[in-house]
Amino acid sequence: MIRLFSFWRSLATYRVRVALNLKGLTPDDEIEVNLMKGAQRAAAYRAVNPMMALPALIDGEAPVLFESLAIIEYLDETRPDPPLLPKDARGRARVRGLAQIVACDCHPLIVPRVREYLEHELKIDEPARMEWCRHWHVQALAALELHLGSQETGRFCHGDQVTIADICLASQAAGARLFGADIAPFVNVARIVETCHRIDAFARAHPLRQPGAPAT
Ligand SMILES: N[C@@H](CCC(=O)N[C@@H](CS)C(=O)NCC(=O)O)C(=O)O
Q: What are the structural domain ranges in the chain?
A: 2-82, 89-208
Architecture of the domain delimited by 2-82:
3-Layer(aba) Sandwich (3.40)
Task: Report pTM.
Answer: 0.97
With 0-12 / 13-18 / 19 or more C-beta atoms within 10 angstroms meaning exposed / middle / buried, residue 148 is: buried
What pLDDT, on the 0 to 100 scale, is given for residue 179?
Answer: 94
pLDDT value at residue 172: 98
CATH number 3.40.190.10 given to 89-208: no
Q: Length of the chain, please?
A: 216
194 exposure class (CB count in 10 Å sphere: 0-12, 13-18, 19+)? exposed
In whole angstroms, give the CA distance from residue 108 to residue 32. Answer: 21
Ligand 1 pocket residues where CB is under 6 Å:
10-12, 35, 40, 52-54, 67-69, 103, 111-113
Residue 17 Cα, ligand 1 centroid: separation in angstroms?
Answer: 14
Give residue 78's pLDDT.
97
> Would you give per-residue pLDDT tens digits along the chain (216 residues)?
999 999 999 999 999 999 999 999 999 999 999 999 999 999 999 999 999 999 999 999 879 999 999 999 999 999 999 999 999 999 999 999 999 999 999 999 999 999 999 999 999 999 999 999 999 999 999 999 999 999 999 999 999 999 999 999 999 999 999 999 999 999 999 999 999 999 999 999 999 999 999 986
- List the residue whose alpha carbon is closest to atom 11 of ligand 1: 53
Looking at residue 54, what is its pLDDT? 98
Q: How far is the CA of 4 from the centre of ligand 1 (A)?
A: 14
2-82 and 89-208 have identical folds: no
In tens, the pLDDT along 45-87 reads 999 999 999 999 999 987 999 999 999 999 999 999 999 999 9
From atom 9 of ligand 1, which residue's Cα is the shortest distance away?
Answer: 10
Calculate how far, in angstroms, residue 104's C-alpha sits from the geometric centre of ligand 1.
11
Residue nearest (by alpha carbon) to ligand 1 atom 2: 67
Return the amino acid letter for 185.
P
- What local confidence, expressed as pLDDT, does residue 62 receive? 74
Dihedral sign, Cα of residue 209, residue 11, residue 27, residue 199: positive
Helix residue ranges per DSSP H, 107-184? 112-120, 126-148, 164-178
